[in-house]
Structure 1
Amino acid sequence: MTTRERRNGTEQASAVALRAGLTREQLDALTTLEHFRWELRFVRRPLFLEPIPVVFHPDGERYAVLEADGSLNENPGFEIRR
């Protein structure tokens, strides 16, 4: 097994872990967004609350939260450190 094969396996596992706990609507919206090169970078998981998936635009400057109904919230009420 090469380093690249190990890395790809790790990347696939982390992609699956990021999607864990998302609603069907969020997953469907994410699939559509990925066609436009948006990327799921992280998921905030506050205690006792639903996961908050954060997606980034391909330019890396804009981000949005995928709401539980699959809609995009480009003004989520929090800042992301860069």
Structure 2
Amino acid sequence: MTDIVAYGYAAVVALGGIIGFMKAGSVMSLTAGLLFGGAAAFGAMQTSKNPSNYLIILGTSLLLSCVMGYRFSNSGKFMPAGLVASLR
């Protein structure tokens, strides 16, 4: 069964990186968004094949949530860090 929620999460993360690049010209946002979005998509593929293979999507989600939660606590700005931290 396809893990639609995990694929949606991966798409939101990748799209966030693309939007960050388009709005601010941030290559780091583009790189991180595509890297984490790709890792999340790979994790979604793994959980779609076997629901017991959740470690990749879980690890990606936890790492991204910690990093973005830290950025949100430092900046106090909900977008984009607070939103991404709350997606997990």
**TM-score by structure 2 length?**
0.28
Relative contact order: is structure 1 or structure 2 higher (C-alpha 8 Å, sep ≥ 6)? 2
Structure with the larger strand share: 1
Larger Rg: 1
